Structure 1
Amino acid sequence: DYDEASLKQLKFIKTCRALDFSLAEIKFFNEMKTQQSQHCEVDSMLAKHLVSVEEKIAELTEIKHFLQSLITEDDHQAADCKAMAQLKAY
């Protein structure tokens, strides 16, 4: 059983992890909850994290397009498999 404060803390950590923040970043954010005078540093960290997320999205979009280009919907022989030919090329 957890008290209300512990549940709020766990929810805060879970939310930060869902946003892909590291444990060190979460620890820092937790400390900043009581030191609001340094909120600009948090804003800066969030901006950097956003750039990182945007880069990951771009990478995943490239992977998606590559995988979509490999998928062949029609019947074909193993020797004609475009997907395996491309994967072997890497």
Structure 2
Amino acid sequence: MRIEEYWEDIVVYYVSFIVNNGKQNKIDRLIAFRVNEESSFFDVENYEEVVRERILKKFGRVEEILNVDLWDYGLLEKKEDFNNKSV
């Protein structure tokens, strides 16, 4: 069995941004992306732009993105397909 059968590569970013939901709130998060999802997440020169676009798309009322830093690389366990397993 190969590791790729059970795990997939991820890349993790530390992101800090300000949202306005009636009042301004600063949000700090670690956000993980599957590498297969978009190959540009591994492109060191381009990652900040790609992550900024994703934050603006996925989070509502973002006023300003303060910081995007590459945090680390990791592995995410793949979900098993229980429908095809015999019990």
- TM-score normalized by the length of structure 1: 0.30
Higher helix share: 1
Higher strand share: 2
Higher relative contact order (CA 8 A, sep 6+): 2
